[in-house]
């Protein structure tokens, strides 16, 4: 009997050790449970607060103008109405969300007016992309996630009525001209968007597998329930990548058909290749091992990703306390070539970490 009990205990401990090594330890690493954060690579004196820009979920750098396009709201509205985080208090959302441009050379901020946007609700902005037109160098297409409240229904029970808005603009004007509202069953819980230069096609991430809060709450955030969808405003939408973990940011390379998708709790970036039929082929996975958010390219076509070194801090900030000190980090990813590559395809550099209060970013 004693031998049997000893054997059972050995099996239990061995199983726990395997589970810890294979599942729990990688998860704790991504969440930064035991991570100590130190500020480096960032000169706080060089940072400037911009009070006209608050709670901007997405920032897009547009070349060659160098203008930044931002999808902004208010901090209080983000706490009340962020469907991807099951914050579904429609009464608490802002009625004055906006898209703005920021010129870093002049520090000028301009809010863009929405023209021909006939809606029974104010816009609720989230993910956004701004793409230069393939046919007109002076024209831009702006693809924007709009988290509408469901008409006559409780969003806490049915989720948000999220759609994609497509606008047209020129760099010289402070106006966005509405082209199309795209609503489709594949647009479940959209987080971010990557538009195409034809003004008609776009890819988007679903950060949950269902709209309804009671379904989303029981989904394990690390389970493979999220997806990437593709839409064409004339031909409809389809899911092009499924079974993904906590999909968040998405971006398409400007020079080729490579598409990158960040995984919040997976701590990785999945690399896809766009096919001729707009479906996606899995190419690579880039491990970062921190909670990830949006993606961006710089003017040298290097990929950047925003990260949160400690998950518990960002959860506290975005769900409860806008003044909670929350560290952030930035990683730069480039092709790893040369004799020092050691056979690794990508070079991942942690460019900066700040232990400063991110609520300053939300409020500025």
Rg (CA), the chain: 21
Whether the pLDDT of residue 336 is over 90: the answer is no
Cα(346)–Cα(139) distance, integer angstroms: 33
Nearest to 268 by CA among 27, 19, 3: 27
Q: Is the pTM of this model over 0.75?
A: yes
Nearest to 269 by CA among 345, 216, 351: 345
Residue 131: pLDDT band by 50, 70, 90 thresholds? very high
Whether the pLDDT of residue 360 is over 90: the answer is no
Residue 86: pLDDT band by 50, 70, 90 thresholds? confident
Task: Give pLDDT, residue 362.
Answer: 42
Cα(84)–Cα(74) distance, integer angstroms: 17
Residue 299: pLDDT band by 50, 70, 90 thresholds? confident
Whether the pLDDT of residue 363 is over 50: the answer is no
Q: Please, what is the average pLDDT of the chain?
A: 85
Cα(232)–Cα(278) distance, integer angstroms: 10
Task: Give pLDDT, residue 218.
Answer: 43
As a whole number, mean pLDDT of residues 316-340 equals 77
As a whole number, mean pLDDT of residues 290-295 equals 93
As a whole number, mean pLDDT of residues 149-163 equals 94
Whether the pLDDT of residue 214 is over 50: the answer is no
Whether the pLDDT of residue 353 is over 50: the answer is yes
Task: Report the relative pairing of strands 258-263 and 247-252 from DSSP bridges.
Answer: antiparallel
Cα(330)–Cα(49) distance, integer angstroms: 18
Best-predicted range by mean pLDDT (19-33, 149-163, 204-218): 149-163
Residue 240: pLDDT band by 50, 70, 90 thresholds? very high
**Token pair recorded at residue 127:** 């993910």
At 323, give phi and psi (nearest 5°): -100, 5
Nearest to 252 by CA among 182, 203, 319: 203
**Token pair recorded at residue 310:** 């400690």
As a whole number, mean pLDDT of residues 246-250 equals 95
Task: Give pLDDT, residue 252.
Answer: 97
pLDDT tens per residue, range 88-123? 999 999 999 999 999 989 999 999 999 999 999 999
Best-predicted range by mean pLDDT (37-46, 85-94, 157-166): 157-166
Task: Give pLDDT, residue 166.
Answer: 98
Residue 211: pLDDT band by 50, 70, 90 thresholds? confident
Whether the pLDDT of residue 26 is over 70: the answer is no
Residue 222: pLDDT band by 50, 70, 90 thresholds? low
Whether the pLDDT of residue 315 is over 80: the answer is no
Q: How far, CA to CA in Å, does 24 sit from each of 29, 287, 292?
A: 9, 16, 18
Task: Give pLDDT, residue 340.
Answer: 60
Nearest to 84 by CA among 52, 58, 105, 66: 58
Residue 22: pLDDT band by 50, 70, 90 thresholds? very low
Q: Strand pairing partners for 354?
A: 328
Nearest to 222 by CA among 243, 193, 240, 237: 243
The answer to whether residues 210 and 160 touch, using CB atoms and an 8 Å cutoff, is no
pLDDT tens per residue, range 172-181? 899 999 999 9
H-assigned helices in 291-352: 311-319
H-assigned helices in the chain: 2-19, 25-31, 75-80, 155-158, 213-218, 311-319, 359-362
As a whole number, mean pLDDT of residues 157-172 equals 94
Task: Report the relative pairing of strands 268-274 and 113-115 from DSSP bridges.
Answer: unpaired
Helix (H, G, I), strand (E, B) or coil at 47: coil
As a whole number, mean pLDDT of residues 270-276 equals 96
Q: What percentage of the chain has pLDDT greater than the value 90? A: 59
Residue 20: pLDDT band by 50, 70, 90 thresholds? very low
**Token pair recorded at residue 176:** 């966005």
As a whole number, mean pLDDT of residues 39-46 equals 66
CB atoms within 10 A of CB 130: 26
């Amino acid at each position: 009997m004693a031998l049997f009990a000893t054997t059972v205990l050995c099996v239990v401990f061995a199983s726990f050790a395997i589970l810890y090594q294979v599942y729990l330890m990688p998860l704790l690493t991504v969440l930064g449970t035991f991570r100590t954060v130190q500020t480096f690579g960032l000169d706080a004196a060089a940072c400037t607060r911009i009070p006209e820009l608050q709670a901007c979920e997405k920032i897009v750098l547009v070349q060659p103008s160098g203008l930044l396009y931002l999808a902004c709201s208010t901090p209080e509205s983000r706490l009340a109405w962020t469907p991807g985080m099951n914050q579904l208090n429609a009464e608490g959302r802002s009625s004055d969300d906006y898209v703005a441009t920021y010129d870093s050379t002049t520090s000028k901020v301009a809010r863009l007016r929405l023209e021909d946007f006939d809606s029974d609700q104010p816009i609720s902005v989230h993910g956004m992309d701004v793409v230069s037109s393939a046919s007109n160098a002076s024209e831009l297409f702006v693809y924007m996630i709009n988290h509408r409240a469901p008409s006559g229904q409780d969003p806490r029970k049915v989720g948000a009525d999220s759609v994609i808005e497509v606008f047209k603009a020129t760099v010289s004007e402070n106006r966005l001209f509405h082209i199309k509202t795209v609503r489709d069953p594949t647009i479940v819980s959209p987080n971010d968007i990557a538009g195409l230069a034809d003004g008609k096609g776009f890819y988007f991430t679903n950060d949950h597998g269902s709209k309804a809060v009671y379904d989303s709450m029981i989904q394990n955030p690390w389970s493979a329930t999220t997806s990437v969808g593709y839409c064409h405003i004339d031909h409809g939408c389809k899911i092009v990548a499924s079974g993904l973990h906590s999909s968040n940011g998405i971006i398409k390379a400007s020079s080729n058909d490579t598409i990158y998708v960040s995984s919040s709790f997976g701590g990785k970036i999945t690399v896809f290749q766009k096919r001729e039929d707009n479906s996606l082929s899995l190419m690579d996975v880039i491990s970062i091992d921190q909670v990830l958010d949006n993606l961006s390219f710089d003017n040298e076509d290097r990929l950047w990703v925003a990260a949160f070194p400690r998950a518990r801090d960002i959860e506290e900030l975005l769900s409860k306390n806008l003044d909670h000190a929350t560290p952030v980090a930035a990683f730069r990813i480039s092709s790893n070539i040369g004799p020092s590559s050691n056979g690794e395809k990508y070079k991942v550099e942690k460019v900066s970490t700040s232990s400063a209060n991110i609520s300053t970013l939300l409020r500025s």
